[in-house]
Amino acid sequence: MNSITVFGKRRVRAKWKEASRLADRILILLRESSAALEVYFLSSREITAINSRFFRRKRRVSGEKVDVLAFPHPHGFPNPSHTKGKTLGEIYINQDCVRRKKETLARLLIHGILHLLGHDHQGHKDALNMEALEEEVFKKAFP
């Protein structure tokens, strides 16, 4: 059984249960049945500050919002005592993007989970592969 813990401000609490349910469905589709992860809902300002601090890069397009960030659990770092199985890491979701329905919560979770499982989009080929996998998972999760 997967363990998904969701955190965020009170005004997005309605999304917490949905995020947990969706993340579990996505993990099962990706053949992860005993994984743990944490999902945080942050404001645009908060997630942009984290992006700037840890990635030290500007957005590719001026004004482009940071919609999701993922931080894998460090290799060799002990798992919290309340988790059994593999701890994947943390996903930070821009709550403003979810509220405006610019991106669906499911797509942001899929993107973040794929990063936690080792996928990236640094090169053109990697980006194409990751986009195809995102679309495949989305279609399976929401036929």
pLDDT tens profile 58-109: 555 556 788 999 999 876 666 655 556 688 999 999 988 887 654 589 999 9
**Mean pLDDT, residues 22-49:** 91
Structure tokens at 90: 């943390």
Q: Where are the alpha helices (DSSP H) in the chain?
A: 13-29, 44-55, 95-99, 105-116, 124-141
Structure tokens at 64: 């482009």
State how far the Cα of 23 lies from the Cα of 41, in Å rounded to an integer. 14
pTM for the whole structure: 0.84
Q: Are strands 68-72 and 86-94 parallel, antiparallel or unpaired?
A: antiparallel
pLDDT tens profile 101-143: 545 899 999 999 999 999 988 889 988 999 999 999 999 987 7
Q: Which of 89, 79, 100 is nearest to 23 (CA)?
A: 89
Q: Which of 23, 92, 19 is nearest to 54 (CA)?
A: 92
> ∠ CA 16-22-26 to the nearest 5 degrees?
145
